[in-house]
Structure 1
Amino acid sequence: MTALGFLYPGHSAEDDYPRIEQLLGSDIRLDVVHTDIGTDAHRVDALREMGSAERLAAGVDELRMVGAESVVWACTSGSFVYGWEGAHEQVRTLAVTAGMPASSTSFAFVHALRELGVHKVAVGATYPEDIAELFADFLRAGGVEVTSVRGAGIVTAAEVATWGEAEIHLLAREADAPDAEALLLPDTALHTAAHIPALEKELGKPVLTANQVTVWEGLRLADRRVNAPMMGSLFTREPLVQV
């Protein structure tokens, strides 16, 4: 049994995790601990507070007790808002505090794109435009070319969590760009685990979503690979040979 730990802010789309656990169909356990969200707002000040070392540290004891082998801060905006170097410091501090390998959803996107060999992406974010642009800046710092950015202007995770299949597909269609090799949907408050194959079929390209890549990152940290076609292209490809 491989136990993966996730620090998830508040309560919005955490039910993606038991769904993903079931879809993995293997000896993988996903342990989710909820952190204090503080102010539910896609604003820089609120997001930086949400991702503070103190808030993340509050959840690591529970993950250690359940035997987690790795921990991922399951929040995209609460990591990329610190910038590339600040987000690195965030996960370094988390790793030391937790005593296990650590990462965040923002880095999960960058690592997943490298896994797929994708260099050009379109972004469909639920966030306001200014926050969506900060995510694009983060991706660029990681060597990714962002061809287009679409922000839906939603301020709270609570509202994002109410979105269903129709809203998700509409955002994906509006955000996609012909020259993009993949589409990214970066909000962990968005329920996407059930929709990835349909999104990829509609767009004809890999679709990476926040909770999907977060779980993949936990597996990567634990040196596990799982073939799970219902989780999209990311979970069906052979690893790229690094030269």
Structure 2
Amino acid sequence: MTRVGFLYPGYSAEDDYPAFQRLLGDDVELHLVHTLMREDAHRVDALLDVGGADVLGEGARELRARGVDSAVWACTSGSFVFGWEGARAQAEGVAAEAGAPASSTSFAFVHAVRALGLSRVAVAATYPDDVASRFADFLGAAGIEVAAWSGRGIVTAAEVGTLPADDVLDFVAANDHPDAEAVLVPDTALHSAGVLDALEDRLGKTVLTANQVSVWEGLRLAGATAPREGLGSLFRAGAGAAAAVER
């Protein structure tokens, strides 16, 4: 049994993880620990607090107690706001406290893009523009070209979590770009487990969402890389794509 742990800030789309669990099957367990969110705001100062070492350390120690094989800080904005090196140090801190290899959603996006051999993307972000632009900068630091990015201007994770599936489909489709090989949707507060294949069918290209890449990253770190259906092209690619991250 493979056990993957997630540190998830507050409460918004945490029910995506039981949904992923059902889609994945009974050979893996997804363990979710809610971390402290003193203020629910997609604002840089609040996000730096959400991703602070004290907050993540407490959650990571709980994951250690659960015996997880890998750990993921399941918050895109609470990782990329620290910049590339800051986010790396953040993940290393989680790994040390969890006693398992660790990553974050921001790095999961980078690794997923690389695994699929993509180089040019569009970003459909629910965040305010100043936060969305930082994600585009983070991707640029990884050598990923951002053909276009957009911010929807939603300040709280709680509001993002209420967006219905049809709204998510329309929002992502509206922010595609003809030059993009994939569309990235960076907010773990957004429900996406139930619409992954529908998103790709609608756009006719790869779509990567925050909770999707977080789960994929955790499984990759734990060595559980069997191809799986119903979770988008990223999961269908299986071990070959996962191995490409390390090359």
Query: CA-to-partner distance for each residue in 1:40-83, whole Å, 9 max, x for gaps?
Result: 00010000000000000111222122211111000000000001
* Alignment partner, residue 130 of structure 1: 130
| Aligned residue pair count | 243
* Alignment partner, residue 151 of structure 1: 151
Partners of 2:91 and 2:60 in 1: how far apart?
Answer: 13
Identity of aligned residues (%): 58
The within-5 A match list for 1:1-243 is: 1-238=1-238, 239-240=240-241
Partners of 1:99 and 1:202 in 2: how far apart?
Answer: 41
Give structure 1 regions of 4+ aligned residues with deviation exceeding 6 angstroms. none
SS at structure 2 position matched to 1:31: strand
SS at structure 2 position matched to 1:236: helix
Instruction: Tell me if the contact between 1:196 and 1:230 (Cα under 8 Å) persists in the aligned partners.
Output: yes
Aligned AA (1:14): E
Task: Identify unmatched segments of 5+ residues in structure 2.
Answer: none
1:100: Cα distance to partner?
A: 1.2
Aligned AA (1:112): A
Aligned AA (1:65): A
Q: Which moved more, 1:218-227 or 1:178-187?
A: 218-227
Partners of 1:223 and 1:187 in 2: how far apart?
Answer: 25
Aligned AA (1:131): V
Aligned AA (1:35): T
Aligned AA (1:111): H
Aligned AA (2:163): W
TM-score (norm 1): 0.97
Partners of 1:207 and 1:25 in 2: how far apart?
Answer: 22
TM-score (norm 2): 0.96
Instruction: Tell me if the contact between 1:25 and 1:228 (Cα under 8 Å) persists in the aligned partners.
Output: no
SS at structure 2 position matched to 1:54: helix
Aligned AA (2:136): A
1:26: Cα distance to partner?
A: 4.1
SS at structure 2 position matched to 1:154: coil
Instruction: Tell me if the contact between 2:61 and 2:97 (Cα under 8 Å) persists in the aligned partners.
Output: no
Partners of 1:196 and 1:173 in 2: how far apart?
Answer: 13
Instruction: Tell me if the contact between 2:62 and 2:98 (Cα under 8 Å) persists in the aligned partners.
Output: no
Partners of 1:35 and 1:135 in 2: how far apart?
Answer: 22
Partners of 2:19 and 2:185 in 1: how far apart?
Answer: 18
Task: Identify unmatched segments of 5+ residues in structure 1.
Answer: none
SS at structure 1 position matched to 2:237: coil
